Structure 1
Amino acid sequence: MAENALRERRRRQTEREIGDAALDLFERHGIDGTTVDDIARAAGISARTFFRYFPTKERAALVPHVELDERAEAMLDALDGARPLLPQLEALWRDVLADFDNGRSESGRLLLRVRRLMQLEPTLRLASISVDEERGGALVVRLRELLGSDDDLEARVIVETAGVAVRVALDRWVVARDLGTPVDLVETYVETCRLLRAVTTE
């Protein structure tokens, strides 16, 4: 057990190191100006090792923050299928976004760098959408089980609704910061959720 935990920590550390190297190079040279060999060299690994961790160079910049990811998993485990799931999922996302501390925490600074880069690099945005779809698909399965349904339609609508609000809030947050008119990320998310509900009930 201890050996497995050590192996997992090393894997995550290597993954983070590769991700940091990729993000640094993308910021300096752009994605088109950076190769997998460049990233591997900067991370002190071989290109073959790189592909053990990531299928593409863009995915390397999208490494999740481990502690925050584990906290989100714990919150997902606490969801109650007997209560409306959308408000619970919105509350979960509020807590996650609060941990970014408007770009001041370690995870927040990383998020800001990635989201800024996504504004400039369409291939990174596409890679992010792909990651979101993978994680969203896994979340749909969990919510469907909580709902006790064989049909995933309701679970999918809940996941997509919460996800849209997160993406809109993050984009507005990054753009506002870069325009010199910063907004609070959590407040922006809460307002986005409110507007989404208002639009869908008109």
Structure 2
Amino acid sequence: MSNDHGEELTPLRDRRRAQTEQEIAEAALTLFEKQGIDGTTVDEIARLAGVSPRTFFRYFATKERAALVPHRDLENRVEEMVSTMQPDEPLLPQLEAVWTEVLQAFDNGRSEPGRQLLRVRRLMRAEPALRSAALSLDEERLQALVARLTALTGSADELAARVLVENAGATVRVALDTWAEAIEAGRPVDLLQTYRRCRAVMHDAVSAQRVGQLSR
């Protein structure tokens, strides 16, 4: 097989893998919503997704992780934005720009990734096991982002990158929780506006702390 042919096949394999991931995720979410996580088995998820349990475990280590599949196009866009961040400019505004674009892509729960996100956030409120899995996955992603930013800035000390990433990530999590809770309570709010409010609170808190330190 020629290199050219191989290069053509790679995107096709990636698309097929992404499609299988999404099919398994859809099956997992449907069953979790209907009968809860404890009441759902991997065999049931695999059967609904049209794959074998063995195939399921090639994609996911646990049934909870199956419901947490990111949208590939959105993930690729995030990777692209992170790779173009400028190390000689403040990192926090750049991180916030990345998160803003991600939240815009969710379209307040109306886009495909947005609908999936809302389903997951609603389930997380009722299923501690799913919330725990989501927090663990978030931690893995944040650690990877810390490593990327540390390499980007050429710093041997990753403390600054870790603080920025953790704070930016926590602000997003609060915004997502607030948004999902409001929808669940029948008083929907706009996700992007909620994020902007959370971000403003965080900035105000940091500014107040700085003023307090300077006045001592």
Q: TM-score range by the shorter chain?
A: over 0.9
DSSP-derived class of the 1:99 partner: helix
Partner of 1:128: 134
Count of residue pairs brought into register by the alignment = 202
Letter in 1 for 2:117: L
Structure 1 residue 115 displacement after superposition: 0.5
Correspondence 1:31 to 2:37 = yes
Partner of 1:86: 92
Question: Stretches of 4+ moved more than 3 A in 1?
Answer: none
Partner of 1:43: 49
Letter in 2 for 1:87: P
Alignment match of 1:172 (pick from 168, 178, 182):
178
Structure 2: distance between partners of 1:90 and 1:128: 21
Under a length normalisation based on structure 1, what TM-score does the superposition of the two structures give? 0.97
| Larger displacement relative to structure 2 (145-154 or 114-123) | 145-154
Structure 1 residue 195 displacement after superposition: 0.5
> Superposition pairs for residues 160-199 of structure 1, below 5 Å?
160-199=166-205
Structure 1 residue 100 displacement after superposition: 0.8
> Superposition pairs for residues 125-164 of structure 1, below 5 Å?
125-164=131-170
Under a length normalisation based on structure 2, what TM-score does the superposition of the two structures give? 0.91
Q: Deviations over 1:80-120 (max 9, x none)?
A: 11100011101110111011111111111111001100111
Structure 2: distance between partners of 1:124 and 1:102: 22
Letter in 1 for 2:190: D
RMSD over equivalenced CA pairs, Å? 0.9
Identity %: 60
Alignment match of 1:62 (pick from 39, 61, 68):
68
Partner of 2:4: none
Structure 1 residue 200 displacement after superposition: 2.7
Structure 1 residue 183 displacement after superposition: 1.1
Structure 2: distance between partners of 1:44 and 1:160: 38
Structure 2: distance between partners of 1:22 and 1:182: 26
Structure 1 residue 201 displacement after superposition: 3.0
Structure 2: distance between partners of 1:143 and 1:75: 12
Q: Deviations over 1:60-95 (max 9, x none)?
A: 000001111111111111111110001110111011
5+ unaligned residues in a row in structure 1: which ranges? Answer: none
Letter in 1 for 2:44: D
Letter in 2 for 1:195: V
Larger radius of gyration: 2
Letter in 2 for 1:199: A
DSSP-derived class of the 2:119 partner: helix
Letter in 2 for 1:153: L
Structure 2: distance between partners of 1:53 and 1:129: 19
Structure 1: distance between partners of 2:91 and 2:204: 18
Structure 2: distance between partners of 1:45 and 1:70: 26
Correspondence 1:103 to 2:109 = yes
